[in-house]
Amino acid sequence: MINNVIMERANRKIEARGHWGSKTEFLLAVAGNVVGLGNVWRFPYLCYSNGGGTFLIPYLVFVVTCGVPLFLMETAMGQYTQEGGITCWQRLCPLAEGVGYAGQLILLYSCMSYIIILAWALFYLAFSFSSQLPWASCGHMWNTVCLSVYLVQSTKTPNVGNVNWEILLCLIAMWIICYFCIWKGIKSTGKVVYFTATFPYVMLLVLLIRGLTLPGALQGIMFYVYPDPQHLLDPQMWMEAGTQVFFSYSITVGSITTLGSYNPYTNNCYRDSFWLCLLNSCTSVVAGFAVFSVLGFMAHEQGVAVEDVAESGPGLAFIAYPQAVALMPLPHLWAVCFFIMILLLGLDTQFVCMEVIITSVTDMFPTVLRRPWRRELFLLLFCLFCFFSQIVMVTEGGIYVFQLFDYYACNGASLVLLSVFQSLAVGWIFGAERMCDIIEDMTGSYPNFIFKLCWKYLTPLISLASFIYSLVEYQPLIFNRWYRYPVWAYMLGWLLALSSILLVPGWALGRLLAIRGSLKQRWLYLCSPDSNLPLTRKQRAEIKELTVSAETEDLIIISDGEKQ
């Protein structure tokens, strides 16, 4: 009796998992997560360098066969199980639990590299308020081919050097902001995204309108969209299109699953997935017009070709675009608008990734972490761990470390291979038909047959082909087109890359060896979903039919016995 009272009091202290305050919070959180820096600085450059409008063909192929099907699958998995990116696999297919761990490890790597870019953006934003933009005139070290004097050392010797205190302070500021954005879980996250997920669109619209009115804008846009059909025969273009879809849709890492797990069971995730995917892709296309209209203006002013000023990744955000806005009237205004947009685009992606990791770990240990102030303390420890692990990236030579870490630890090939494992686990082991029944039970709409076709065949085959091609055509990282890393650095990079994807077969093999029984019994056990999962209407009808049939047989037997 006393033990029961103690247990009851202890359970009262465990906080409820909770749901989104409204459907709008869910939509904005997912939109903020999937619409990030890659939409602005990677997609436009890929279009330009891969045949302009021709690039949209492989991009749309990957969107239809991989992006949307996996997006819907992950949203439905979270909404159905009400679990995070790891524990959802424990309930659906224990054999594939390693997919959850691998996804969370990639997210951890992303959190450690992504926020460095936000620190750079905050630093540039601060200098945008100076009387003269430092990158506007020659004679400054900002005009080197490197990101800036503050982001990379000017010598050709890649020594780590001293800590750059200005960037370090910006990094501390970004971690503090991210901490308080999610420190109360979805209660605080759901409110913050109203601003962080919407205001970047205001900035993007302002920059788009301004860019289209500049001389030379048409020249830049033509370079962006002019089709070159010959590129369709280039396998590299198809690989880059697939990688862009996996990155921009945030699939295979558990983000969408975790965000969907805070939805009520009857939320229409089928419709939500379609509109969110459409929003993501449209944002990428529109961002391309905003970026290349300004680059066209820059080329026009300098009397050079657009390809001479076009950059991708950090080079676009911290070299090409700042130099372009410096040539405009009111350069400070446009610099502030641009870096605010970069900050907000990256900020909600960063703190949503953090929220996903915290939620996934909390779901694994609910009795420990769902207690007053336990979650806040765990989040603080997580932030401190990431911060101290990345100090080497804010040194004088930190850009070398950053590029190595970003190239290998957060590479697209890992995401592509995870999609193969995920599709096989859900499409074949758990069952594509069962997943469609679950979606119909939650939304009232049975998914189009193309989703079953993708989950079972198209997605794993296309992803596997892309992964194999990426291995065949692998090129080691060359920093800034001239510096080759030492052999030990490449080995470290491969260790980071393999650390995530090897978790999937490693975890499956470990579980098969750990449990008792014959190999067939162990396989069947690990491929069976949790018996406590919610029953769909179809399953309840089947159980009812079997029950009625059994009761009828019992009555017949009793009746025959009485007659005898």
Point out the annotated binding site for Na(+): 32, 35, 39, 248, 280, 345, 348
**Residue 349 is which amino acid?**
T
> In sequence order, what are the residues at sequence separation of 6 or more whose Cβ sits closer than 8 angstroms to the Cβ of residue 103?
85, 252, 253, 254, 418, 500
The binding site comprises 32, 35, 39, 248, 280, 345, 348
Q: Are the beta carbons of 255 and 75 closer than 8 angstroms?
A: no
> In sequence order, what are the residues at sequence separation of 6 or more whose Cβ sits closer than 8 angstroms to the Cβ of residue 475?
none
What is the spatial distance between Cα 59 and Cα 238, in angstroms, rounded to a whole number? 8
Q: What single DSSP character describes residue 395?
A: B
Containing H/E element for 150?
Answer: none
Q: Where are the alpha helices (DSSP H) in 365-411?
A: 366-369, 374-389, 398-409
What is the spatial distance between Cα 130 and Cα 331, in angstroms, rounded to a whole number? 11
DSSP characters over 284-327: HHHHHHHHHHHHHHHHHHHTS-GGGT---THHIIIIIHHHHHTT
What is the spatial distance between Cα 194 and Cα 287, in angstroms, rounded to a whole number? 21
Q: Are the beta carbons of 341 and 200 closer than 8 angstroms?
A: yes
Between CA 543 and CA 554, with CA 549 as vertex, the angle to 5 degrees is: 125
> In sequence order, what are the residues at sequence separation of 6 or more whose Cβ sits closer than 8 angstroms to the Cβ of residue 188?
180, 181, 182
Instruction: State the CB neighbour count (10 A cutoff) for residue 389.
Output: 11
Neighbour-count burial for 127-158, b at 16+ CB within 10 Å, e otherwise: bbeeeebbbbeeeeebbeebbbbbbbbeeeeb
What is the spatial distance between Cα 245 and Cα 60, in angstroms, rounded to a whole number? 9
Cα dist from 190 to 22, 65, 348, 499, 522, whole Å: 8, 31, 11, 32, 41
